[in-house]
Amino acid sequence: MNLRRWLTIGIGVKRWLLLAFIGLVILALGIAQMIRNVTAGLDPADPIMGLVNLLTFQFLPYQARGILLGVAGVLLFVLGSYRLVRALVDPFALWDRDQPMVEVIYQKRFLARGPKIVAIGGGTGLSTLLRGLKEHTSNLTAVVTVADDGGSSGVLRAELGIPAVGDIRNCIVALADSEPLMARLLQYRFPGTGPATASTAEPDKPSAADAAGMPVDGPFAAAEAGLGGHAVGNLLLAALVQIEKGDFEQGVREMNRVLAVRGSVVPATGTVLTMHARLEDGSEVVGQSRIAHTAGIERVWVTPGDVRPTEDALRAIADADVIVLGPGSLYTSLLPALLVPGIREAIAASGALVVFACNVATQAGETSGYDLADHLDALALHEVAHLPDVVLANNRFDAVGGEGWTGEAVRLRWPPKGHTGARLVLDDLVDRANARRHDPERLAVSIMRAWDREGGRRRRPASARAERSA
């Protein structure tokens, strides 16, 4: 595996090794020529000639001598070069010592040449997508929704006046090159009946402590009164915001830097958002945690209506080669980010290939009974359906649903009402062991294929394409 990585095209190592090797061959030829000239007039019986013959293996046949010296030279060169690089680099190494150095070089050099991809949304779907994409490019930016008002994020939001941090934490963990123990630490949730109550937690989502494989009872149960339900990563991010004098954007930047994130995670806005939903019966529901479990949603919006997107988000969108919308909860993860004023306009003007990754399964409550066309119709009602150039949907339906799952696979009804011309791509995208989630690698490969089909080039902005078609 390590040898294959070293031989990967574009890693930027082989060319310099070859140049050094050619230099050593030229040096060896020069030394051989010098020895030949010095010993040309010596008597074969001279002791000096005997020493030279011994050192140059003259007692072996010509062919064997060449093979032996060639193999020995290459092996010594490779070993010496490797040890030299390690001796020079190791004192400055910031990575996990158990990770081969070639993997670090591969990430920094080869992945840095990948397309600039911006993923927009939140929840489990976005972090799943990022885990797959980071194996194909390090030019990743996650633009994350901050409208969550439940669980640990909701408590920190109410007490400190900061936007929701839970989805940002999950995305940072997904992109972090930190040791596995650090990821488990950030996801660890203190036991107790604190902010992460059953009323706000996703019914089909394990707790962070469960996901981290850490105990949820024992001597720390006393934390119930204060820390119960809080994730360590949420507290760390909240502390960084306070250190930065309440600057939420800067606090997130520092979190990216501290955890050596491959790419970057940025909030859609630095302002606290409140979600609202109007139902089909005309009633309204307020709060992301309540909307997530409500069926019959007609339209959602966020307040305040004059919030500004972060500069980091706008800059990443403008520079993107590919923009991925979703996957994730349609109304409570994806749309809250897209409804921030300026985000949709930036996507339309970017010239990037825009991909909508439809969920593989419905979500009990907000998308109960939805098929593929229903997802696109919901985007159309929120003036977003014109953005995607490609719609990715899963066409495998034999994955395991799991105990207690009340959703169903998203059916492939197409086209939606008012079809805008987006190209439908069907692929095997589901996690075979979990029918409600995408497989990170399959999803990432499908997105990279879509990018390859476009010839790896930026497109005309969506706004210009729309004007031309009109």
Q: In a 3-state reduction of DSSP, which class is residue 164?
A: coil
Pair (138, 274) in one structural domain: yes
- Angle at CA 202, nearest 5°, toward 306 and 208? 100
Greater pLDDT, 48 or 184: 184
CA-wise closest residue to 118 among 94, 89, 139 = 139
Q: Averaged over 344-367, what is the pLDDT?
A: 95
The pTM is what? 0.76
- Evaluate if residue 81 carries a pLDDT over 80: no
Average pLDDT, the chain: 83
Pair (325, 378) in one structural domain: yes
User: How many whole angstroms separate alpha carbon 120 and alpha carbon 110?
Assistant: 24
**CB within 8 A of 455, min separation 6: which ones?**
none
User: How many whole angstroms separate alpha carbon 61 and alpha carbon 400?
Assistant: 67
Tens-digit pLDDT profile for residues 376-394:
999 999 999 999 999 999 9
User: How many whole angstroms separate alpha carbon 26 and alpha carbon 21?
Assistant: 9
Here the tokens at position 29 are 């030829």
pLDDT for res 198? 37
Pair (349, 427) in one structural domain: yes
In a domain, 16, yes or no: no
Here the tokens at position 242 are 């306070």
In eight-state DSSP terms, residue 470 is -
Q: Which of 10-14, 145-149, 283-287 has the lowest mean pLDDT?
A: 10-14
In a domain, 378, yes or no: yes
In eight-state DSSP terms, residue 113 is G
Among residues 194, 226, 261, which one ends one of the domains? Answer: 261
Give the helix/strand (H/E) hosting 123: helix 123-133
In a domain, 32, yes or no: no
Pair (67, 198) in one structural domain: no
- Evaluate if residue 35 carries a pLDDT over 90: no
- Evaluate if residue 458 carries a pLDDT over 80: no
Pair (71, 177) in one structural domain: no
Pair (208, 251) in one structural domain: yes
Range of the domain at 457: 109-145+268-469
Q: 403: exposed, middle or buried (C-beta count within 10 Å: 0-12, 13-18, 19+)?
A: exposed
Q: Tally the domains of the chain.
A: 3
**SS3 assignment for 326-340:** CCCCHHHHHHHHHCC
CA-wise closest residue to 457 among 167, 115, 207, 191 = 115
Tell me how many helices (H) and strands (E) the chain has. 19, 12
Looking at mean pLDDT, say which of 184-193, 238-247, 416-425 comes out highest.
238-247
User: How many whole angstroms separate alpha carbon 5 and alpha carbon 108?
Assistant: 13
E-only strand ranges, 304-448: 322-325, 353-357, 390-394, 423-427, 430-431, 434-438
Among residues 235, 261, 287, which one ends one of the domains? Answer: 261
Q: State the DSSP string of 337-361.
A: HHTSTTHHHHHHTT-PEEEEE--SB
In a domain, 87, yes or no: no
| CATH number for the domain harbouring residue 412 | 3.40.50.10680
Strands of 284-286's sheet, edge to edge? 284-286, 274-279, 297-303
Q: Radius of gyration (Cα) for the chain, nearest Å?
A: 29
Residue 341, strand partner residues: none
Among residues 29, 51, 76, which one ends one of the domains? Answer: 76
Pair (454, 313) in one structural domain: yes
CA-wise closest residue to 124 among 336, 373, 359, 426 = 359
pLDDT for res 46? 75
Here the tokens at position 364 are 């009990």
Pair (323, 425) in one structural domain: yes
Pair (384, 411) in one structural domain: yes
In a domain, 102, yes or no: no
Pair (121, 215) in one structural domain: no
- Angle at CA 127, nearest 5°, toward 124 and 131? 135
Q: Where do runs of H (alpha helix) occur along 90-117?
A: 101-105
In a domain, 459, yes or no: yes
In a domain, 197, yes or no: yes
Q: Which of 129-143, 186-200, 369-383 has the lowest mean pLDDT?
A: 186-200
Q: In a 3-state reduction of DSSP, which class is residue 399?
A: coil
Pair (195, 288) in one structural domain: no
pLDDT for res 344? 96
Tens-digit pLDDT profile for residues 187-223:
898 887 555 443 344 433 444 444 444 444 444 443 4
Q: Averaged over 89-106, what is the pLDDT?
A: 59
Pair (321, 218) in one structural domain: no
> Cβ–Cβ contacts within 10 Å for residue 282, how many?
7
In a domain, 100, yes or no: no
